[in-house]
Structure 1
Amino acid sequence: MVKKILISMLLSLSFVIGYSQKMNVAKLDSLFHILEAKDKFMGSIAVAQNGALIYSKSIGKDDVETNKKATNLSKYRIGSISKTFTSTLVFKAAEEKKLSLNQTIEIYFPTIENASKITIGNLLNHRSGIHNFTNDPEYLKYNTEPKSEQQMIEIIAKGKSDFEPNSKADYSNSNYVLLSYILQKAYKKPFATILQDKITKPLGLKNTYVGSKISLQNNEANSYRFSDKWIKETETDMSIPMGAGAIVSNPTDLTLFIDHLFAYKIINESSLAQMTTLQDNYGMGIFQIPFYDKKGLGHTGGIDEFRSVLYYFEADKIAVALTSNGKTYDNNEIIKAALSSYFDKPFTIPTFKNIELKTEELDPYLGEYSDAGFPMTITVTKDNLKLFAQATGQSAFPLEATEKDNFEFVAAGIKLEFRPNEKLMVLKQGGREFKLTKK
């Protein structure tokens, strides 16, 4: 739910159902073998074709303290993938004449700035201008405490507007919290009940619901960050994110949900067409993701240390979902590997073999690096035998040496190549490359 710029042994579960001849299961299994052996990822993945599961795996632990291993029954907070469910519910409500996407929101939220200009549709595609409350430093001071609807509306109203409604788009969790309240008023039922009545019960999604306090007995996972060891993260109180990020699910349920969504089994074809129409790269609770020459649609999520991905490739009827509760390896690389396994594309299995350098060998890399075309300065420091990089306004992250002059931060998919003689550092991330000069 919270956006971040630069910074988710034996297999506990592996099964294949309706195995597609196109799926390179053996190679994908090898990736998960090494991720678990090196303790780089905890979570689950599912790939489905035409609604039938063709690959699934869960590794790591739901709870490190009690050594409770992940299984196909494990459930995770899915963060902002909740928005796709919420958007679907809003379209369902519109089809049932409970509301209209063109109606403005002042009757619901008279204290919200520009409420008389903001439509429900503007909330759906992030064109409302309403400030994103999770961007504020104060958010992390209260996110573990329960909040009432009135308290959340006051917090959102206090943030006012960042731009004129419908003049542009900018991601804001505030939009989907407000949509939750609109749905509750439209149906006169709690958001959790609406989700159950309109989506999870009709589709038989037994592992998907609005979360509360994490319950290990209910096979819900805790989330962890890694700092020499896995450290349990605090829990956001789910009364805060609501339809913006409060849903719990697992990859199998997520693939079923999105397959039924695109099969018009939840909302009709006209509604889905509107939901998936992009304006300034935003759909309504959905985004586009490229993979080679293919285009997928879906959403990602992050709340506490949970990370999630859900994509659907309509032309091939392929759904892929990933949920994690701890990672030091880039989840995007896992998704790419899964899609590559199906679409017969090459991908490399990491070895995680790093080299050790003496402290004096790190000295040529130290300093500040910047470029006019790069929005931040990267400061490189060391602590004895460990090199660290820190972008402006971000936390420092550790770098592992893969070979002389080459380092990486696997969790964010960052690779750094130093050229000390040229006073250059080449930063690679997400297929992009930046050359930064040392001051």
Structure 2
Amino acid sequence: MLLCAYNLNAQNTKSITAEIDEYLNSAHKAYKFNGVALVYHKNELLLNKGYGYSQIAEKVPNSTETKFPILSITKTITASIILKLQDEKKLSVKDKLNKYFPEYPNGSKISIHHLITHSSGIYNYTTDVGIEDSILVNNPVSKDFVVNYFKDKPLGFKPGKYYSYNNSGYFLLGLIIEKVTGKQYETVVREYLFEPFKMSNSGFDFNGLPKNEKAQGYQFWNQKETISYKHYDSTFAYSAGSIYSTSSDLLQWAKVVSNKQFLKPKTWELAFKPKIRNYGYGWEISKYFDKKYIKHSGGYPGFMSELIYYPNDELIIILLNNYGTYEQNVWAIGMGITSIVLGMPYDKWTIRNDNKVEVSKMQKHVGQYKSGKGRLEIKLVDDNLFLALPNSPDMRLLPENENQYFLDNFNTRFDFNNGKLVLHEHGKNIEYIKQN
């Protein structure tokens, strides 16, 4: 009987793994995923596999050993070290910034809590910095140089009043870690996490890695051409986003988190409790259907990263993508994988055609729409329909025909019909009514 149950479970696992693999292949063929995916469920590794190339010209395949920048997933590590120092009674999240930097403008108003929760109001130094800004991005820069870039700019709001994603706050957290420990941030991360938890393929100087060990970042254009991006220097991102890793090493970190190691159990509970909007101490907390997840994303031209943990379902999903821009949505791929593992509806990825529709026929869909889930707006700009949401850039809708459109990077379908809009996403249908 036990052997029979084991065989059935093994067959079920094999079937789920095959389904995930088929789904990721569909995403790869639709130019939505090119990288490494890892899925770990109830102490079992379902999948750890590369898709596409790490170096396209040389046709080097992505593999589980390929190193990727994890980008803002770095923030989960920075925040956790701050909390570890609090566990060790070396600091408090209530400490004000001026305790560590007496001359910092408004330092008496800004706490470590504000820095971790993106609620400080400090100017975000990456707001107007693009990949063409070679002085800040493409060359080594001192910490003082970066801090001087943002510290004297006025606060955007009273600390604690709003959430506004902020790399400057996490840059300052790295400096606080150095002040408290008397060691370099990179040294502290290695001693506290990389070495004890055997993350031997993780580090900081991504650009300094041998070419054959790492992924090159790309953007696919018109599903034909590729544009390669130079990754920013690690000193520019520092404690806000400088770490590189592999899927297997990130699983080690995710296990630390899921097993509530490193920090006290109550401290992990504190980290996973939303403080402002849906952000805790270094983690975003939300739900997919009724499934609670804890996650962090990362993004920069050429790379996207995602670490998703479902505590109640014992599910970890890691996605490292070396293809994309800020418009790419690796999170949507993660939700598809979630649906497969947990038995919920999902849609495979397909290549969408950019069909032509007369402007007059698109014009009738323009307007404000409302549902029980909230509001959205459909705009017509330069003969194209766009979805407009609060606090997000407008996103173009690809026309299938005059009444059906796709938000391609989210795998979401929009059906317009006589003043109604039905949004189809991840197996769910949400009806919106056009407002006159």
Shorter-chain-normalised TM-score: which range? 0.7 to 0.9
User: In structure 2, what is the equivalent of residue 240 of structure 1?
Assistant: 236
Distance 2:359 2:10 in 1: 49
Indicate which of 120, 126, 141 corresponds to 2:112: 120
Q: Cα distance 1:214–1:415, how it changes in 2: closer, same or farther (>3 A)?
A: farther
Distance 1:268 1:50 in 2: 22
Deviation at 1:138, TM superposition (A): 7.0
Distance 1:330 1:149 in 2: 31
Higher RCO structure (Cα 8 Å, ≥6 apart): 1
For the 8 Å contact 2:369–2:432, the answer to whether it is kept is no
Deviation at 1:95, TM superposition (A): 2.5
What letter matches 1:294 in structure 2? Answer: K
* TM-score scaled by length of structure 1: 0.82
What letter matches 1:100 in structure 2? Answer: S
1:166 and 2:127 are equivalent in the alignment: no
Distance 2:114 2:142 in 1: 24
Distance 1:248 1:41 in 2: 19
Indicate which of 396, 408, 411 corresponds to 1:410: 408
User: In structure 1, what is the equivalent of residue 12 of structure 2?
Assistant: 21
Task: Identify which range, 78-87 or 50-59, moves more after superposition.
Answer: 50-59
Deviation at 1:380, TM superposition (A): 4.2
Identity rate, percent: 23
Q: Is the partner of 1:21 in helix, strand or coil?
A: helix
Q: Deviations over 1:161-196 (max 9, x none)?
A: 122223343321111110011112222222221111
Q: Cα distance 1:78–1:381, how it changes in 2: closer, same or farther (>3 A)?
A: same
User: In structure 2, what is the equivalent of residue 370 of structure 1?
Assistant: 367
Query: After superposition, where does 1:38-77 map in structure 2 within 5 Å?
Result: 38-77=30-69
Q: Cα distance 1:189–1:218, how it changes in 2: closer, same or farther (>3 A)?
A: farther
User: In structure 2, what is the equivalent of residue 3 of structure 1?
Assistant: none
Q: Is the partner of 2:196 in helix, strand or coil?
A: helix
Let me know the Cα RMSD of the aligned residues: 3.3
For the 8 Å contact 1:63–1:216, the answer to whether it is kept is no
Q: Cα distance 1:196–1:220, how it changes in 2: closer, same or farther (>3 A)?
A: same
Deviation at 1:283, TM superposition (A): 0.4
1:183 and 2:177 are equivalent in the alignment: yes
What letter matches 1:133 in structure 2? Answer: Y
Distance 2:240 2:425 in 1: 27
Distance 1:20 1:90 in 2: 43
Distance 1:208 1:20 in 2: 34
Distance 2:394 2:93 in 1: 43
What letter matches 1:72 in structure 2? Answer: T
User: In structure 2, what is the equivalent of residue 220 of structure 1?
Assistant: 214
Structure 1 unaligned segments of length 5 or more: list them: 1-17
Distance 2:115 2:169 in 1: 5
Distance 2:328 2:95 in 1: 44
Indicate which of 199, 203, 209 corresponds to 2:193: 199
What letter matches 1:379 in structure 2? Answer: L
Structure 2 unaligned segments of length 5 or more: list them: 1-8
Indicate which of 297, 306, 315 corresponds to 2:312: 315
Distance 1:252 1:19 in 2: 22
Distance 2:220 2:273 in 1: 38
Q: Is the partner of 1:41 in helix, strand or coil?
A: coil
For the 8 Å contact 1:105–1:119, the answer to whether it is kept is yes
For the 8 Å contact 2:299–2:305, the answer to whether it is kept is yes
Deviation at 1:402, TM superposition (A): 3.4
How many residues of Structure 1 are paired with residues of Structure 2 in the alignment?
Answer: 413
User: In structure 1, what is the equivalent of residue 262 of structure 2?
Assistant: 266
1:30 and 2:27 are equivalent in the alignment: no
Distance 2:344 2:358 in 1: 38
User: In structure 2, what is the equivalent of residue 286 of structure 1?
Assistant: 283
* TM-score scaled by length of structure 2: 0.83
Task: Identify which range, 217-226 or 361-370, moves more after superposition.
Answer: 361-370
Q: Cα distance 1:313–1:231, how it changes in 2: closer, same or farther (>3 A)?
A: same
Distance 1:376 1:157 in 2: 36
Q: Cα distance 1:436–1:273, how it changes in 2: closer, same or farther (>3 A)?
A: same
Distance 2:103 2:137 in 1: 22
Task: Identify which range, 287-296 or 410-419, moves more after superposition.
Answer: 410-419
Q: Is the partner of 1:239 in helix, strand or coil?
A: helix
Q: Deviations over 1:120-165 (max 9, x none)?
A: 2221122322222222367863433432111111122133312222
Task: Identify which range, 85-94 or 254-263, moves more after superposition.
Answer: 254-263
Distance 1:61 1:158 in 2: 43
Q: Is the partner of 2:308 in helix, strand or coil?
A: strand
Distance 2:319 2:287 in 1: 17
For the 8 Å contact 1:62–1:69, the answer to whether it is kept is yes
Deviation at 1:319, TM superposition (A): 1.3
Deviation at 1:111, TM superposition (A): 4.3
Deviation at 1:36, TM superposition (A): 3.2
Distance 1:214 1:376 in 2: 45
